[in-house]
Chains A and B, each alone.
Chain A
Amino acid sequence: DQQVKQNSPSLSVQEGRISILNCDYTNSMFDYFLWYKKYPAEGPTFLISISSIKDKNEDGRFTVFLNKSAKHLSLHIVPSQPGDSAVYFCAATVTGNQFYFGTGTSLTVIP
């Protein structure tokens, strides 16, 4: 049973606008959440993370929001750029050894 879900398989956004990628989880024990970005024919690369003791973490154009009561996190990209076109995976962990990933959202940023 998928403990981390990304319900939108794909998303298209105009360049310069905001991209919002969503992720839901079921296990309330998860205490650390991560976003990874994946280009075709490459391995995923780390993007941004957030601890469960925070509700927001920002790194440049990327911001992750965590709503623990709703078991929901989102990744905001502002402004979106064509180079952001990739598949984005959210992931969660309790132990820092076992990780649960979502199904991924394919983001296309249209120039």
Chain B
Amino acid sequence: EAQVTQNPRYLITVTGKKLTVTCSQNMNHEYMSWYRQDPGLGLRQIYYSMNVEVTDKGDVPEGYKVSRKEKRNFPLILESPSPNQTSLYFCASSPLAGVPTDTQYFGPGTRLTVL
């Protein structure tokens, strides 16, 4: 089944404890992206990747890191999480980069709470 998977789905952590949220897609998609969803702010793009080893900042990249060493995986790294990073995170992928007509497929989300 074609899908985008995220792990973990739920995570409660403490301020400053490094964490990684994994994202994997099995559709051989070129483009991948991370978003966060917050009440009253909607979805905001954190980082995106146009291909292996090619990443760029979205609208709200501060406090996050990403890497794209393999086409299928695009982990989101919080080196020193803070409470303002408490949010619902979504990973998405689409077949090609730079093609707005390509549909983005979203993962199920990761609910992160930073205490």
Contact = CB atoms under 8 A, between A and B. Distances in A.
Given A43-B4, A49-B101, A89-B42, A97 B108 contact: no
A97 B43 contact: no
Contacts of B90: 43-44
Q: Chain A, interface size: which category?
A: 20 to 34
Nearest to A100: B59
A44 B107 CA distance: 8
A36 to B, nearest CB: 8
Interface of A: 2, 4, 6, 31-32, 34, 36, 41-46, 49, 51, 89, 91, 93, 95-104
Interface in B22-72: 31, 33, 35, 40-45, 48, 50, 56, 58-59
A1 to B, nearest CB: 10
26 contacts: A32-B101, A36-B106, A41-B108, A42-B108, A43-B92, A43-B105, A43-B109, A46-B104, A51-B101, A93-B100, A95-B100, A96-B99, A96-B101, A96-B102, A97-B31, A97-B50, A97-B56, A97-B98, A98-B45, A98-B58, A99-B33, A100-B45, A101-B43, A101-B44, A101-B45, A102-B42
B98 A95 contact: yes
A43 B108 contact: yes
B42 A103 contact: yes
Contact of B100 (A2, A6, A32): A32
Contacts of A96: 97-102
A103 B36 CA distance: 12
Given A42-B108, A43-B109, A101 B35 contact: yes
Given A44-B106, A99-B104, 14 more contacts: A44-B90, A49-B101, A93-B100, A95-B98, A96-B98, A96-B101, A97-B97, A98-B56, A98-B58, A99-B33, A101-B43, A103-B42, A104-B42, A104-B43
B102 to A, nearest CB: 7
